[in-house]
Amino acid sequence: MLNKFFIFMIFAELLASTSQVLLKKSAQKKYSNFIREYLNWFVICGYGLLVLSMVVSIFCYGGLGYMGVVVMEPMSYVLVMIMSRIFFKEKVTPSKLAGMALILGGIIVFHTLG
């Protein structure tokens, strides 16, 4: 059943995935000193989105319950894989596709039967 908490949880996972992409983008750059490596817009925005994602996830516990939120967490693996393909041109292998299908299948089975 698609309720507002399910949609919010997908949004939280999208925020967390975007955060991971920003942090990876920052890690790929060279910085002039130690401070600039950790105090730049990619890192600050990345960690800010991660905190926002955590707050939205905590909000979702009220409507999805503990198991509902925990089952939705692996959705970020799927989103990170898609975003890595788009932004970093990373290769999507058949084993990654199989893993993505299993993750999505598990989420669908849990939310339709559970």
pLDDT per residue as tens digits for the range 3-22: 899 899 999 999 999 999 99
Q: What predicted TM-score, i.e. pTM, was given to this entire model?
A: 0.87
pLDDT at residue 49 in the model = 97
Nearest in space to 17 (alpha carbons), one of 69, 100, 77, 70 = 77
- 36-40, 79-83, 110-114: the lowest-pLDDT one: 110-114
What DSSP designation does 64 have?
H
What DSSP designation does 76 have?
H
Task: Share the mean pLDDT of the chain.
Answer: 92
| CA distance readout (Å), 74 to 16, 17, 65, 95, 101 | 11, 11, 16, 16, 12
Map residue 92 onto helix, strand or coil.
coil
- Per-residue pLDDT at 1 exceeds 70: no
Domain ranges of the chain: 4-113
